[in-house]
Amino acid sequence: MTTPKIKGTIGILTGGGDVPGLNPAIRAVTIRALREGYRVVGIRRGWAGLLETVRDKKADNRDNFIELTEDIVNRAGRTGGTFLHSSRTRPSHVPRKNVPEIYKDIYTDEINDLTSEVIKNLDFIGIDYLIPIGGDDTLSYGVTLYKAGVKIVAIPKTMDNDVPGTDYCIGFSTCVTRTIHMTNLLRTSAGSHERILVVEVFGRYAGFTALLPTMAGAANRCVIPEYKFKIEHLTELLINDRLKHPSRYSVVLVSEGATFDGIEMMFSDHERDMYGHAKLGGIGNAVSARLKEVSQLINKGQRIDTINQHLGYLVRSGDPDAIDSIVPMAYGNLALDLILKGIHGRMVILKNGRYDNIPVDIISSTKKLVDVSKHYNSERLRPVYESFVDKPLFLI
């Protein structure tokens, strides 16, 4: 019996923050590809696995890549996170301290471009097509490789839902679902103590993860990175909301990248990743503290206490919800459809409720942010939703 000829090798990797839905996407790509006669290689730790691969057949590269089988992906396919692991590595901007040992004598600048080594490693592994799954940072390096001649088919992932060109990114629905659920849980404490509930959520530059839960009724108000608000205005609105509620409490969702007069974007530390991002955190604390101070001026000298909760990784951990189980399956199959036709340099997307694909370089040519003039009422600090006719599933 002769062994069927392999049509080619497909590489797949996950980069940036983890979200529920990554493992279903890896599973969808792998099972379809294997059945179509392709070999599938999972790159470990995002771009780091390709950066650190040792081009020696005798080298132990198990930490850098793995050949995927149906058994492997079926075990992980229904779970959250990414079994291939992830990183925020950017091979075109590697600090000298992060240059792999095998290259330390070659790359000695403070910041080094190791893209040529990545391309050689792709050839060493034998990858014909590469499917990166990630947000705009991870996929922007995919654009760099595409422009250098690598056959790229991208899948958008980020719970912030801010990859341009698509209405939906893997991880967003679960994030919104968890935010609504946990905010509703916190209402019991806020109501018991008649406090203002301040919930900090992810969202560095885009406020979708605060806007959509507020639209769904999880909060009275939300503040987002796209609009610099006034703390006095927010306090007045929340005090009025509190007075109208039978249990005397109100709720505000705060995007981690939000700012107000006197407070700029806040960081939990000053260490930056290879994409230039420092870790955000603390705006919820600042809003909470200022709400207590300002409330005395508005509430007849009586200070209103707050409950301040940072949801953090709780919204990106655990199993995917229904949408983040279905969309990754579709995205994986869409990627294979393109590869089977010999098409590359594309990103699979959802647009106006329909699956499609667009040129991958849109990622580096534009930004996807909340359009304040259309979708955010800056007087009420709430989302705008006057009509749902012809709107996409997530409205924005």
| Active site members | 160
Helix axes 136-147, 115-125, angle to 10 degrees: 80
92 closest CA partner among 42, 155, 150, 44: 150
Three-state secondary structure call for residue 263: strand
**Residue 254 in tokens:** 């705060």
Asked if 154 contacts 346 with a C-beta cutoff of 8 angstroms, the reply is yes
**∠ CA 134-122-342, rounded to 5°:** 75
**Residue 31 in tokens:** 């099972």
**Residue 135 in tokens:** 């947000």
Asked if 320 contacts 27 with a C-beta cutoff of 8 angstroms, the reply is no
- Euclidean distance between the first and the last CA atom of the chain, given in angstroms as a whole number: 55
**Residue 4 in tokens:** 């069927």
Asked if 168 contacts 350 with a C-beta cutoff of 8 angstroms, the reply is yes
Q: Compute the 3-state secondary structure of the chain and give helix, strand, coil in percent, each to the nearest 5.
A: 35, 20, 45
The number of beta carbons lying within 10 Å of the beta carbon of residue 59 is 12
159 closest CA partner among 312, 278, 361: 312
Three-state secondary structure call for residue 198: strand
Q: Burial-class residue 65 by CB neighbours within 10 Å (0-12, 13-18, 19+).
A: buried
Q: Which residues pair with 309 in a beta bridge?
A: 199
CA pseudo-torsion sign 66, 88, 155, 281: positive
Cα dihedral angle (222, 223, 227, 233), rounded to 10 degrees? 90
174-213: string of b/e by CB count within 10 Å (b at 16+)? bbbbbbbebbeebbeebeeeebbbbbbbbbbbbbbbbbbb
Asked if 14 contacts 157 with a C-beta cutoff of 8 angstroms, the reply is yes
Question: How far apart are alpha carbons 210 and 219 in whole angstroms?
Answer: 9
